[in-house]
């Protein structure tokens, strides 16, 4: 029964956010704290001495960044908003719950956790520069935008790693509890999904303009295309290292909580439609994979 609840928790969280969007505004302040907590729990799982970034992780990162750049450059001539919205769906790091889902699907938790850490660090370094360059804040200079993004994004992505290491060496009991209870991040993710989906639906309804229908449709379609492409690219890279599941989850399963927050904060808010739609796309893929995997396991 508990496993069945997990299988359907993500779709229920998304549906709940869409239904109760009117009341989500009271919970949006929790998003940064949930991101911090989920990353901290994930990092507590990693043994510093066994943390080895290999060819698999570098190959995944190269594919992710190259694909992100290609998407941005390909769409930018047609629409800056659509380009940045779809770009953020590719650029953001792997979801904090990816190790949990990967483990459920029979992939390597260690490999996806290592890639998640590498990817988060890469985004923490490159994010401020890229977001300052493509963000839509004409009232701010590049230097001002860069400083603002650094001061908010870098701590959110790097402090959880520091916290995990501090807990390891100063409060081992708490650290071990978090490391042994990774499912906590899964449930936090469900709460975060509830909040971000509700926030996105609320934003779209409050700011709906018939003139934006074309952009919204392009953002939704674009996010679906890159979602499918990233799962496929990840599995392709993973097949070269005998781990398709880990490759697919590493690139396809995204930290959409962070993506929506970045889009709402630093891009044209309409661009947040893309990562909001990505929530539905990648969690639909995850739910389908989990159901299929468990059916196959029961059949055998």
Buried b (16+ CB within 10 A) or exposed e, 82-105: bbbbbbbbbbbbbbbbbbbbbbbb
Per-residue pLDDT of the chain (300 residues; tens, 9 = 90+): 565 666 677 778 878 888 888 888 778 788 778 878 887 887 787 777 766 788 999 999 999 999 999 999 999 999 999 999 999 999 998 887 677 677 777 787 778 878 887 887 788 778 777 887 887 665 556 666 566 656 666 676 678 878 988 999 999 999 999 888 877 877 887 887 788 778 777 877 776 677 778 888 999 999 999 999 999 999 999 999 988 999 999 999 998 877 887 887 788 888 888 988 898 888 788 777 777 766 776 666
Q: Report pTM.
A: 0.76
SS3 call for 108: coil
Distance between CA atoms of 286 and 253, rounded to whole angstroms? 8
In the numeric block, the tokens 């450059």 are attached to: 73
SS3 call for 94: strand
SS3 call for 54: coil
Specify the pLDDT at position 110: 76
Q: How many residues does the chain have?
A: 300
Specify the pLDDT at position 222: 95
Picking from 45, 259, 6, the residue whose alpha carbon sits closest to that of residue 153 is 259
Specify the pLDDT at position 106: 79
Specify the pLDDT at position 153: 61
**Residue 57 structure tokens:** 């992780």
Contact of 91 with 68, CB cutoff 8 Å: yes
In the numeric block, the tokens 């496929």 are attached to: 232
State the burial class of residue 69 (Cβ atoms within 10 Å of its Cβ: 0-12, 13-18, 19+). Answer: middle
Tell me the domains of the chain and their CATH numbers: 29-299 (1.20.1530.20)
Picking from 223, 229, 200, the residue whose alpha carbon sits closest to that of residue 85 is 223
Specify the pLDDT at position 161: 78
Half-sphere CA count of 267, side-chain side, radius 13 A: 29
Q: Rg of the chain's alpha carbons, rounded to an integer?
A: 18
Q: CA quadruple 241, 287, 262, 186: dihedral positive or negative?
A: negative
């Amino acid at each position: 029964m508990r496993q069945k609840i997990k299988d359907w928790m993500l779709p229920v969280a998304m549906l709940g956010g869409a239904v109760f969007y009117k009341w989500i505004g009271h919970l949006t302040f929790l998003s940064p704290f949930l991101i911090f907590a989920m990353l901290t729990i994930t990092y507590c799982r990693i043994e510093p001495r066994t943390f080895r970034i290999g060819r698999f992780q570098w190959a995944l990162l190269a594919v992710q960044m190259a694909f992100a750049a290609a998407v941005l450059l390909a769409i930018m001539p047609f629409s800056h908003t659509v380009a940045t919205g779809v770009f953020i769906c590719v650029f953001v790091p792997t979801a904090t719950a990816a190790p949990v889902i990967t483990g459920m699907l029979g992939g390597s938790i260690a490999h996806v956790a290592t890639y998640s850490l590498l990817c988060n660090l890469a985004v923490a370094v490159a994010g401020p520069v890229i977001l300052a360059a493509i963000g839509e804040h004409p009232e701010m200079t590049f230097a001002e935008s860069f400083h603002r993004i650094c001061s908010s994004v870098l701590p959110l992505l790097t402090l959880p790693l520091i916290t995990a290491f501090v807990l390891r060496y100063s409060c081992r009991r708490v650290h071990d509890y978090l490391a042994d209870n990774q499912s906590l991040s899964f449930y936090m993710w469900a709460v975060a999904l509830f909040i971000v989906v509700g926030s996105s639906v609320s934003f779209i309804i409050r700011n709906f303009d018939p003139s934006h229908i074309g952009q919204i449709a392009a953002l939704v379609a674009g996010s679906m295309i890159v979602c499918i492409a990233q799962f496929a690219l990840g599995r392709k890279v993973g097949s070269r290292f005998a781990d398709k599941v880990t490759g697919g989850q590493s690139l396809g399963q995204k930290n959409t909580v962070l993506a929506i927050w970045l889009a709402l904060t630093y891009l044209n808010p309409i661009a947040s439609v893309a990562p909001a739609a990505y929530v539905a796309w990648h969690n639909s893929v995850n739910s389908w994979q989990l159901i299929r995997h468990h059916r196959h396991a029961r059949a055998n």
